[in-house]
Structure 1
Amino acid sequence: MEGEQTADLIRAQLRRMRTAAGMSQEEFGRRAAYSASTISAVETGTRPLDIPYMRRMDEVLDTGGLFESLLRMAEREGQPSWFRPWLDAERGARQLRCFHPTLIPALLQTENYARAVIRCDDLLSDDKVEKRVAARMDRQAILAQPDPPQLIAVIDEGILRRTDESFRGLMAQQIDRLMASAERPQVSVHVIPIHVGLHVGMSGPFALARGADGGWIGSLETQLNGSVIDSESELATLMSRWETVRNEALPRRQSIDLLKEAVTSWT
């Protein structure tokens, strides 16, 4: 609810600043390259807010990026309360380690893959699905910043081999993204081959973030919620499990070769 309240405040501020600038919705729309009906829909809440729209409003109203910042705040507030400390840790991390036995890690997902995964929750409306997709894509901006964190991702080969013809194009695109990401100097992708069989990582996904101060924080997710891990004993357990899954995985170059072979099977 906090995120929705912030979004309402953004809409009210947009109306106020447009009016203070002496512009009707029609004139404002002409300057912003949007129709008057779109301006009205945004201000009344029948059209969801999005980053491209906010950026354009900032340009027209010369706000110095105010509305984009407010929307990103609203998106953050829309996340579960337990997840917000992890988002802060992720944004400020100097190194990220993530393991997932069943899905591509969120920071390396394509938009189409993320949408397909999020839509698996049939309790979500289309609007909520799209908001979650946008929030997930926004998280990935940390990898494109001038001084990005090092990201080490470990995945299970089974993720790449799910046999469903309806996902053929989606999976080919997703594995292409993994290969492109793995070629970047700050990103490493390691694959645990199927022949490894059972291993401790099959108990569930987890992630670790090291901040600028050298301290670590962990994240666990379940079907219903999740938790942020910061106690020394629990972090030590996660570190031990990380070393186990990392040691089961192939080296970087061999993992890329496996990705190349997997994408061929989808194309």
Structure 2
Amino acid sequence: MATGEMTAAAFLVAELRRARVRRGWSQEELARAINYSPSMVSAVELGQAPPTSKYLEQFDKVVDTGGLFTRMLTNLVSLDRAQPWLRGWRAILDDAEELRWFDPLHVPGLLQTEAYARGVFAADDSLSRQEREERLVDRMASQGILCEPNRPWVVMVIDESTLRRQVGGSKVMVEQTRHLMQMVMDHPSLRLQVVPCSAGEYPGLNGPFILATMRDGAEVAYLGGQIGGRELDGPVDLSMLHRVWEATLGAALPPQESIKLLGEVAESWA
């Protein structure tokens, strides 16, 4: 997307998921009703695949919208300069040469243990059991990128409060913090830094984001959200996020001190 404003395409994707949830259907139930695979429904709702006119016709029919979503695609989405499915998070991950990743809320997905990730998804009451399992499988599979020959250079910054917030129980947190230490030691292309609570207020606390430099030289930002993610590629947005990144990195402890803090946090959970 070119700006931080919500486009018609992003609005359509968000409303598709809301309509399904209001109906009380899981992604699998919707998939059966419209004769598509659950993975396709998930990809559409995550902005990773475009909802085709046929997909929306079937959706309008089974949800009885009177053709609302088909009209949105024809009359509104086609006017967008950019659409949220142009790359998609997995495509960004696969094609990135460098990732600068900040999260003040959770341990980044690429570094989550299975138990921690399960705890994150279990907290989302809008997901069915099957949806949680599907997302867990997808998250664990995505971590393989760190072992690929053409793996990206990854710099991650997390807030200390992320490590202090219990997800899945104290045993899970001990495992997760020790896992972070091991990942840093095992992967020379990965750097992890922690912003200590003593840093006080800093710009990054406004929310998580990822800055990705692609192998073709393009740069894109990815912002997670309650419903899908958003891509930004406009110069103004990227410039602003670069400033936030530099300020956040400046507030973080150096790598070795960050590892020491991880050890201290692991001991506190134990």
TM exceeding 0.5: yes
Match runs of 1:25-44 below 5 Å: none
Residue 26 of structure 1 corresponds to which residue in structure 2? none
Q: What is the rounded CA distance, in whole Å, between the counterparts of 1:163 and 1:170 in structure 2?
A: 8
Assess, with a 3 A threshold, how the Cα gap between structure 1 residues 163 and 120 changes in structure 2: closer, same or farther. Answer: closer
Higher relative contact order (CA closer than 8 Å, sequence separation 6+): 2
Code of the residue aligned with 2:112 in structure 1: it is Q
Structure 1 runs of 4+ aligned residues shifted over 6 Å read none
Q: State the SS of the aligned residue for 1:89.
A: helix
Q: What is the rounded CA distance, in whole Å, between the counterparts of 1:9 and 1:126 in structure 2?
A: 19
Q: State the SS of the aligned residue for 2:149.
A: coil
> Aligned pair count?
203
Ranges in structure 2 where 5+ consecutive residues have no aligned partner: 1-26, 48-83
Residue 45 of structure 1 corresponds to which residue in structure 2? none
Q: What TM-score comes out, normalization by structure 2 length?
A: 0.69
Q: Report the Cα offset of residue 114 of structure 1.
A: 0.8
Residue 95 of structure 1 corresponds to which residue in structure 2? 98
Residue 56 of structure 1 corresponds to which residue in structure 2? none
CA RMSD of aligned residues (A): 2.5
Q: State the SS of the aligned residue for 1:122.
A: coil
Q: What is the rounded CA distance, in whole Å, between the counterparts of 1:115 and 1:191 in structure 2?
A: 23
Output one character per residue of 1:224-259: Cα deviation in whole Å (capped at 9) or x when no partner.
443101111111111111111111101111100110
Q: What is the rounded CA distance, in whole Å, between the counterparts of 2:130 and 2:148 in structure 1?
A: 28
Q: State the SS of the aligned residue for 1:95.
A: strand
Q: What is the rounded CA distance, in whole Å, between the counterparts of 2:147 and 2:264 in structure 1?
A: 27
Q: Report the Cα offset of residue 85 of structure 1.
A: 2.1
Residue 175 of structure 1 corresponds to which residue in structure 2? 177
Q: Report the Cα offset of residue 162 of structure 1.
A: 2.3
Higher helix share: 1
Ranges in structure 1 where 5+ consecutive residues have no aligned partner: 11-47, 49-72
Code of the residue aligned with 1:234 in structure 2: it is D
Q: Report the Cα offset of residue 86 of structure 1.
A: 2.6
Match of 2:224 among 192, 196, 221: 221
Contact 2:46 2:227 in 1 (8 A): no
Q: State the SS of the aligned residue for 2:88.
A: helix
Match runs of 1:194-205 below 5 Å: 194-205=197-208
Code of the residue aligned with 1:105 in structure 2: it is P
Code of the residue aligned with 1:180 in structure 2: it is Q
Residue 139 of structure 2 corresponds to which residue in structure 1? 136
Q: What TM-score comes out, normalization by structure 1 length?
A: 0.70
Contact 2:194 2:252 in 1 (8 A): yes
Q: What is the rounded CA distance, in whole Å, between the counterparts of 1:212 and 1:147 in structure 2?
A: 10
* Rg comparison, structure with higher value: 1
Q: What is the rounded CA distance, in whole Å, between the counterparts of 2:45 and 2:184 in structure 1?
A: 28
| 1:77 equivalent in alignment to 2:43 | yes
Q: What is the rounded CA distance, in whole Å, between the counterparts of 1:172 and 1:86 in structure 2?
A: 29
